[in-house]
């Protein structure tokens, strides 16, 4: 088995496959987590997902993250089951938020309505005047680079996983993976876990997968005493995530970290692989965060970083065999949720490769769905 990509998804797949006794070579043209996994945040969210296949995948994935924290140790992943608090600015937004939480509850999510006068008990530094919120105890976080490295380490400890970094895949055909540094690798199946570059890797096999980059910036403040207890964001973030527009969307998601800095994410825009820092986008994120937590107004930002989310047009990942090449399984295009969705994605891939009944119907993630749209 060859897994292309040593990001969060490739690491989770390698771990799941090796645990089942399969031999795996993980190939990456860069280092471990040199792609989007090393350039984003590690929110594990059910709160921002509407009922449907992605939420089903997320609920299972969060359960698996909890299991992984038990097996590997929460510290190894910087796993914090801290819960999320989604807040509404006005009564209309609060009514919509409550209605959406009602639907999520029916899909297995725990969601507790919080009236306006209860918000400060959850987050003492929240701005006054908010209309209310919903608390989601299942939301959690990990440190993505640490978590991916920990999963790869465990996979390699089985003795069944080779890790080939600084090795680009240059060609793909049934039974053969061509690389620039290690010649031809022979294998029964290939997992395309190349994230934002999943479309390029698919093309090496003559397949089509329309993965595009969706840029995001994150602000990192100076280390602070504990100010923000949960992941906190305004309800309009959900609309930003779901937007298909190429234009800038931003609404702050604010979270404290064990090390002290507060992370403020994240913008969304489709501007190709443009790496230039955008001061207006950073200023907008900072202003939105200070609107939620006025105490952040006087805090210094130490740095900002950016990454490119792997975006597919319907915001769902591609998980499963290529329609015309059953030996090629795609596991890419998770956009802004690839950390959260990694363990359940890996479980689906392992079950499909093992010929086992998958824990959920993966049809909505079928990589062939875009071909149908085009024809
Ligand atoms: C600002 C920002 C904030 C985010 N916040 C969150 C969050 O809070 N929660 C969440 O769940 N997700 C979040 N995400 C999204 C998350 O980071 C991604 O969905 C996830 O990292 C994708 O992982 P991956 O393994 O698919 O891709 P990557 O980590 O990009 O790994 C793909 C790998 O494939 C390799 N590769 C590509 N082409 C080749 C080739 N030809 N040969 C060999 N190797 C190749 C690359 O080098 C790369 O290492 C965020 C993203 C950004 C940018």
- Residue 375's pLDDT is what? 44
At a CB cut-off of 8 Å and minimum separation 6, what does 223 contact?
259, 260, 261
At a CB cut-off of 8 Å and minimum separation 6, what does 81 contact?
66, 69, 137, 138, 140
Residue range 182-213, pLDDT digits in tens: 999 999 999 999 999 999 999 999 999 999 99
Distance, CA of 174 to CA of 248 (rounded, Å): 40
Identify the structural domains of the chain with CATH numbers, from first to last.
2-72+143-211+315-374 (3.50.50.60), 84-137 (no CATH), 212-311 (3.30.9.10)
Distance, CA of 345 to CA of 57 (rounded, Å): 8
Residue range 51-106, pLDDT digits in tens: 999 999 999 999 999 999 999 999 999 999 999 999 999 999 999 999 999 999 99
Distance, CA of 113 to CA of 212 (rounded, Å): 36
Q: What CA dihedral angle connects 221, 46, 148 and 215, to 10 degrees?
A: -60
Whether residue 197 has its Cβ less than 6 Å from ligand 1: yes
Nearest atom (ligand 1) to Cα of 35: 30
- Residue 12's pLDDT is what? 98
Task: Give distance in angstroms: CA of 318 to centre of ligand 1.
Answer: 14
Task: Give distance in angstroms: CA of 227 to centre of ligand 1.
Answer: 29
């Amino acid at each position: 088995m060859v897994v292309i990509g040593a990001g969060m998804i490739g690491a989770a797949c390698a771990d799941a496959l090796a645990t089942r006794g399969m031999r795996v070579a993980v190939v990456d043209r860069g280092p471990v987590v040199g792609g989007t996994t090393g350039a984003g945040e590690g929110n594990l969210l059910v709160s921002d997902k509407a009922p449907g296949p992605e939420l089903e995948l997320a609920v299972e994935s969060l359960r698996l993250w909890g299991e992984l924290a038990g097996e590997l140790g929460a510290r190894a992943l910087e796993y914090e089951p801290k819960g999320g608090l989604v807040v509404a600015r006005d009564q209309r937004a609060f009514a919509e938020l409550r209605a959406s939480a009602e639907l999520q509850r029916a899909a297995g999510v725990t969601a507790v309505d919080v009236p306006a006068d209860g918000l400060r008990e959850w987050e003492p530094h929240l701005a006054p005047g908010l209309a209310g919120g919903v608390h989601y105890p299942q939301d959690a976080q990990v440190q993505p680079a640490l978590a991916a490295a920990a999963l790869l380490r465990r996979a390699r400890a089985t003795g069944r996983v080779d890790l080939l970094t600084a090795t680009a895949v240059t060609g793909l055909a049934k039974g053969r993976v061509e690389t620039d540094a290690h010649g031809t690798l022979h294998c029964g199946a290939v997992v395309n876990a190349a994230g934002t570059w999943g479309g390029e890797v698919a093309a090496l096999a003559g397949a089509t997968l329309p993965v595009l980059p969706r840029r995001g910036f994150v602000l990192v403040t100076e280390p602070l005493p504990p100010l923000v207890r949960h992941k906190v964001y305004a309800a309009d973030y959900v609309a930003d995530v779901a937007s298909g527009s190429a234009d800038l969307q931003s609404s702050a998601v604010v979270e404290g970290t064990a090390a002290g800095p507060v992370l403020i994410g994240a913008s969304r825009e489709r501007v190709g692989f443009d790496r230039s820092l955008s001061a207006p986008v950073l200023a907008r994120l900072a202003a939105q965060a200070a609107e939620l937590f006025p105490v952040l107004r006087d805090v210094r930002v130490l740095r900002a970083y950016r990454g490119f989310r792997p975006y597919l047009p319907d915001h769902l990942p591609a998980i499963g065999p290529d329609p015309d090449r059953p030996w090629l399984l795609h596991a890419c295009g998770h956009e802004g949720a690839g950390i959260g969705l990694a363990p359940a994605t890996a479980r689906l891939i392992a079950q499909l490769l093992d010929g086992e009944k998958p824990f959920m119907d993966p049809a909505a993630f079928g990589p062939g769905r875009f071909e149908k749209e085009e024809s």
